[in-house]
Amino acid sequence: MSSKLDTGSSASSKSSSSTYSRERRSNSIHAVIAMYFLGDLCVVTSALYLGYWLRFYSFIKDFGLPPGFTPSYEAYSSHIFLAVITIFCLLVFGGHYKVETFLRSKHSAFMLLKPIFAWGAIFTSLSLILKIEPSISRLFVLYSVIILAVLMPLWRFLFAHFVVTPYYADRLRLKTLVVGFGPHVEELIKRSESNDINFPLLIEGVLMTQSSNPSIAMPSGIKFWQSDYELEQIFECSSFDNVVLADTDMSSDEKAYLQRICAREMIEFMVIPSAIQKLQSCLTLQFLYGVPLLSQQKQYLDRIDARIIKRSVDIFGALIGLIIFSPIIAFYCWRVRCESPGSPFYRQIRLTRNGKPFEIIKIRSMFLNAEDSGVPQWCKNDDSRRLKVGSFMRAMNIDELPQFWNVLKGDMSLVGPRPERPELIEEFKSNIDYYNLRLSVKAGMSGWAQINGWRGDTDLHSRIAYDIDYIERAGFWFDLYIILRSFYSIKNAH
């Protein structure tokens, strides 16, 4: 790729078709944002008035309502107007009208619970602190929160599925040119070719550099240029919204030239930091006496407040789990004893945060002494060591219910990478890159890899990728999403 700057008229601007394509994408984004906004407005307003009706006019209106106190629609409209303004402020400042939010329809719909509950907490506090006429009914707030928590994610998901995905997906994704062929480009191309609406980039071209060495054959739908092509030529004949630099072996002059061309053509510019392969979401750009530095900050779960919140949720969830599932645990312990005499519980040493060993407890799903050979191995489909009742227990994750006790003790968390045996970790940490990064957080009863089917005798590289993705994205709402999905995600549970 030449770094010589062409000042001719042909290089001074992109073609009219390129300008039209960018304008078309911008109009599509504005249209989708407007439709989301108007739809949210209708749903929020309707939900609040429905909450008002349930509180003051429905068959449950007399619950806790003072005699003769029924504020009119007009009198309560000021509260509803303030509620609408508050909710939309939380939505806007929470990033719920960004393009990347629309491209992650399932996850973003679930994340709407955060501003809804935040609004509920704000209005409940107002009702307790301030004397407002007419007073804000806490039951009105409760009913509205429940209705919003159902209708908002449902409306967003249906709209994304039936409108955004079929009609706007390609125009919302960034048409991308990749310069070079680094270690992550193959994955970017695969995700782009899969037409995954959750993936924001649409890879349409690859410009090879002198050091590029592609490991895969380029798909037919992607344009391919050799290193002797000029960027100006490419930008004239093709329309791109984004350039991703994957070849960090380029000279400083070539990188600066590429950045200048992108700035001139109003094209977004990204760089893949190949020197840092994992936990890249923890990277922060800092300036030290004018020198830009990418530094790897602490993860979310390293923060004291995050660990307090996570531990509080673990204790509460473990207590509720033990109370609710104790009869089920007792029943299946009895079934195991009937089929195979001996202790119905199975204990084994596993490793959790920072490599700390602990004794995990499960309902035994195999015959006693299933590993007489002394060689650790995973359970496989149609495993002859498994009890008859064990197949069903493992498929429904019933054998793992006693681990609520491990969570209560602090050995595990409700959500995190699944704990492994020390013997297996000793083998894998040298053979699988970044394997031990999963030990930087507490092991979990359920996890991001597990609910996506990467457990047991499956591809370890994919499992580690999901575990590291969880570490980077960990948070209260993401944990709640994983917990809810754990109730019906049983892929590869055997």
Q: Please give the average per-residue pLDDT across 335-363, as a whole number.
A: 89
Quick one: 325 and 412 in the same domain? yes
Q: Examine the fold and report which residue of 170, 193, 212 is the final residue of a domain before the chain moves on.
A: 170
Quick one: 263 and 331 in the same domain? no
Q: Give the C-alpha separation, 117 to 280, whole Å.
A: 30
Quick one: 147 and 84 in the same domain? yes
Query: What digits encode the pLDDT tens for the residues 396-433?
Result: 888 899 999 999 999 999 999 988 888 888 777 777 77
Domain assignment present for 53: yes
Quick one: 315 and 461 in the same domain? yes
Domain assignment present for 344: yes
Residue 65: the pLDDT is 56
Q: Please give the average per-residue pLDDT across 334-349, as a whole number.
A: 88
Quick one: 141 and 152 in the same domain? yes
Residue 475 has pLDDT above 50, yes or no: yes
Q: Examine the fold and report which residue of 103, 137, 170 is the final residue of a domain before the chain moves on.
A: 170
Q: Please give the average per-residue pLDDT across 171-200, as a whole number.
A: 74
Q: Give the C-alpha separation, 208 to 214, whole Å.
A: 9
To which H or E segment does residue 127 belong? helix 113-129
Q: Please give the average per-residue pLDDT across 117-125, as a whole number.
A: 91
Residue 434: the pLDDT is 73
Domain assignment present for 294: no
Rg of the chain on CA atoms, in Å: 28
Residue 380: the pLDDT is 59
Residue 288: the pLDDT is 52
Confidence of residue 286 (pLDDT cuts 50, 70, 90): low
SS3 134: coil
Confidence of residue 492 (pLDDT cuts 50, 70, 90): low
How does the average pLDDT of the chain come out, rounded?
79
Confidence of residue 231 (pLDDT cuts 50, 70, 90): confident
Instruction: Choose between 195 and 11: higher pLDDT.
Output: 195
Q: Examine the fold and report which residue of 226, 259, 275 is the final residue of a domain before the chain moves on.
A: 275
* Rounded percentage of the chain residues whose pLDDT exceeds 90: 21
Query: What digits encode the pLDDT tens for the residues 239-259?
Result: 788 888 887 677 778 888 888
Residue 203: the pLDDT is 83
Instruction: Choose between 217 and 173: higher pLDDT.
Output: 173
Query: What digits encode the pLDDT tens for the residues 269-279?
Result: 888 766 555 55
Quick one: 117 and 156 in the same domain? yes
Quick one: 312 and 428 in the same domain? yes
Confidence of residue 150 (pLDDT cuts 50, 70, 90): very high
Q: Give the C-alpha separation, 270 to 245, whole Å.
A: 6
Quick one: 92 and 161 in the same domain? yes
Reduced to 3 DSSP states, what percent helix, strand and coil does the chain have, rounded to the nearest 5?
Answer: 55, 10, 35
Q: Please give the average per-residue pLDDT across 149-154, as a whole number.
A: 91
Quick one: 183 and 152 in the same domain? no
Q: Name the least confident of 40-49, 155-164, 485-494.
A: 485-494
Instruction: Choose between 329 and 300: higher pLDDT.
Output: 329
Residue 225: the pLDDT is 81
Residue 21: the pLDDT is 61
Domain assignment present for 295: no
To which H or E segment does residue 168 belong? helix 165-172
Residue 291: the pLDDT is 59
Q: Read off the DSSP letter of residue 282.
A: G
Residue 198: the pLDDT is 64
Beta 242-245 vs 174-179: how paired, if at all? parallel
Q: List the structure tokens of 219.
A: 């798909």
Quick one: 207 and 248 in the same domain? yes
Residue 145 has pLDDT above 90, yes or no: yes
Residue 186: the pLDDT is 75
- Cis preceding-peptide flag for 417 (omega within 30 of 0): no
* Rounded percentage of the chain residues whose pLDDT exceeds 70: 76
Query: What digits encode the pLDDT tens for the residues 72-98?
Result: 888 888 899 999 999 999 998 888 887
Domain assignment present for 454: yes
Domain assignment present for 291: no
SS3 352: coil
To which H or E segment does residue 401 belong? none
Quick one: 148 and 31 in the same domain? yes
Identify the domain containing residue 191 by its residue range: 173-275
Residue 436: the pLDDT is 77
Q: Name the least confident of 330-334, 365-369, 371-375, 382-386.
A: 371-375
Q: Name the least confident of 65-69, 157-161, 384-388, 441-445.
A: 65-69
CB 262, CB 269: distance < 8 Å = yes
Number of domains forming the structure of the chain: 3
The per-residue b/e assignment along 94-124, b for 16 or more CB within 10 angstroms, e otherwise, is eebbeeebbbbbbebbbbbbbbbeebbebbe
CB 467, CB 449: distance < 8 Å = yes
Domain assignment present for 115: yes
Domain assignment present for 4: no
Query: What digits encode the pLDDT tens for the residues 9-23?
Result: 444 444 455 555 666
Quick one: 95 and 164 in the same domain? yes
Residue 205 has pLDDT above 60, yes or no: yes
